[in-house]
Amino acid sequence: MSAALALSGGAVLADRADRNQPLVIEADKPGTVDMQKKVVVFNGNVVVTQGTMRIRSEHMEVHDVGEGHRTAVATGTAGQQATFRQKREGLDEYIEGRADRIEYDSRSDYLKLIGNARALRLRGSAVADEVTGNLITYDNRNELFSVAGDPARGGRVRAVLTPPPSPDAASSPASGAPRR
């Protein structure tokens, strides 16, 4: 089963300034940088940061695909999945995800969460939307999630979508309080 879900709230992209920030890779174990093949490989509690975007994993391979663009493959371990987090442009919202494997392509601004995948949209620190399945793809440019289940497990997927907060919710009295 496959489903596509557009995030509510209009076309607001991940923080555009992230694209112009340096890519920082940190890890607990020695890594390799192959200048000829344009591949960087790190292991052991790897953290990749570019502006507000952060990917954490046990193993990470980053390929330079030219014109300032990169692809990355992050893999977790049996006990700890790879994770992704990025701020949305102009909002106090983040997109967060986790999976056994994460693939990212900066040219298309496309993210794949593969294996026991979960993606969240957070308003501040509160979960606004949640999508779970075996494969979740996130097209950041179009703010579109696609989710597919594992056919071997029945193919089920799940999405929990909350309505946006009402504009007058902040100014209305708490429930049960007398109105004046």
Do 98 and 113 meet the contact criterion of CB atoms below 8 Å apart? Answer: yes
pTM of the model as a whole:
0.81
Give SS3 for 18: helix
The fold adopted by the segment(s) 10-115+137-142 is: lipopolysaccharide transport protein A fold (2.60.450)
Q: Which of 90, 99, 106 is nearest to 150 (CA)?
A: 99
Strands 82-87, 158-161: pairing kind: unpaired
pLDDT of residue 169: 57
Q: What is d(CA 126, CA 110) in angstroms, rounded to the nearest whole number?
A: 24
Length in residues, the chain: 180
Q: Which of 123, 168, 105 is nearest to 12 (CA)?
A: 123
Q: What is d(CA 174, CA 180) in angstroms, rounded to the nearest whole number?
A: 12
Q: Which of 115, 167, 128 is nearest to 7 (CA)?
A: 128
Mind listing the pLDDT tens digit for each residue in 47-100?
Answer: 999 899 999 999 999 999 999 889 999 999 989 999 999 998 888 999 999 999
Rounded mean pLDDT of 32-46?
Answer: 95
End-to-end distance of the chain based on CA atoms, in angstroms?
51
The angle subtended at Cα 26 by Cα 22 and Cα 27, nearest 5°, is: 160
Largest CA distance in the chain: 72
Q: Where are the domains of the chain?
A: 10-115+137-142
Amino acid at 151: P
Mind listing the pLDDT tens digit for each residue in 130-141?
Answer: 999 999 999 988
Strands 24-26, 39-50: pairing kind: antiparallel
